[in-house]
């Protein structure tokens, strides 16, 4: 397995729109395994292919306490979203050390393909619902900070650019 490099905001590649996977084959399963390893290593509760510069509709999620219940969503599609909204303090591996409240539909229903290419549907609430919506946004080129005010987003951009510069200086 291979650890993949996670892109950091404001990298323009985070705004590319992912294409559907044409065929769930060994190549895709290898990618899923590498994405899972990268997510667990971070550690994070989810990872979208966009974050590792692969622009295909693939998501891995594990919201279990012991991080031993991997969920894989290939070509995920939103089937339904509740009108009831909920606010959650979100973070992102592409925006390390920044957390802020985002309001999203409380419950959702999603359909996707599993690692064998078999379709399934799933209803989600709580952290799984938040995480799925956060990851599906990534596949559309959207990072959670885009829900924040212009002021907050600018502050985050500046801090991230400063941090990237410091990292280069350390090499």
Binding segment toward Ni ion, per CB under 5 A, in 10-18, 19-27, 76-84, 88-96: 88-96
The least distance separating Ni ion from the CB of residue 67, rounded to whole angstroms, comes to 17
Q: What is the DSSP string of the chain?
A: --PPPPP-TT-GGGGPPPBPPS---HHHHHHHHHHHHHHHHTT-SEEEGGGGT--BSEEEE--STTS---EEEEEEEEEEE-S-EEEEEE--TTSTT--EEEEEES-EEEEEE-TTS-EEEEEE-HHHHHHHHHHHHHHTT--GGGGS-HHHHHHHHHHHHHHHHHHHHH-
If the CB atoms of residues 92 and 112 are measured against Ni ion, the closer one turns out to be 92
Binds ligand GNR by CB under 6 A, chosen from 4, 60, 75, 90: 90
Q: Does 105 bind ligand GNR (CB under 6 A)?
A: no
Q: Does 138 bind ligand GNR (CB under 6 A)?
A: yes
| Residue 90 interacting partner from Ni ion, ligand GNR, none (CB closer than 5 to 8 Å by kind) | ligand GNR
Binds Ni ion by CB under 5 A, chosen from 18, 24, 32, 92: 92
d(C-alpha 53, C-alpha 61), whole Å: 17
Q: What residues are paired with 12 via a beta bridge?
A: none
Is there a catalytic annotation at residue 135?
yes
Binding segment toward Ni ion, per CB under 5 A, in 2-10, 26-34, 52-60, 91-99: 91-99
The least distance separating ligand GNR from the CB of residue 146, rounded to whole angstroms, comes to 13
Q: Does 47 bind ligand GNR (CB under 6 A)?
A: yes
| Residues forming the site for ligand GNR (CB under 6 A) | 44-48, 51, 90-94, 130-131, 134-135, 138
């Amino acid at each position: 397995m291979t650890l993949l490099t996670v892109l950091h905001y404001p990298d323009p590649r985070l705004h590319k729109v992912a294409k559907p996977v044409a065929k769930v084959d060994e190549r895709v399963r290898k990618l899923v395994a590498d994405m899972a390893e990268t997510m667990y290593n971070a550690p994070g509760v989810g990872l979208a292919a966009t974050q590792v510069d692969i622009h295909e509709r693939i998501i891995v999620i594990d919201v279990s306490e012991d991080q031993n219940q991997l969920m894989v969503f290939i070509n995920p599609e939103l089937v339904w979203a509740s009108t009831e909204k909920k606010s959650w303090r979100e973070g992102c591996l592409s925006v390390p050390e920044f957390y802020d409240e985002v309001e999203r539909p409380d419950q959702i229903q999603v359909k996707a393909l599993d690692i064998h290419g078999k379709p399934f549907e799933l209803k989600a609430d709580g952290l799984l619902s938040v995480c799925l919506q956060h990851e599906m946004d990534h596949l559309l080129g959207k990072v959670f900070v885009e829900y924040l005010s212009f002021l907050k987003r600018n502050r985050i951009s500046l801090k991230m650019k400063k941090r990237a510069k410091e990292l280069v200086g350390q090499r």
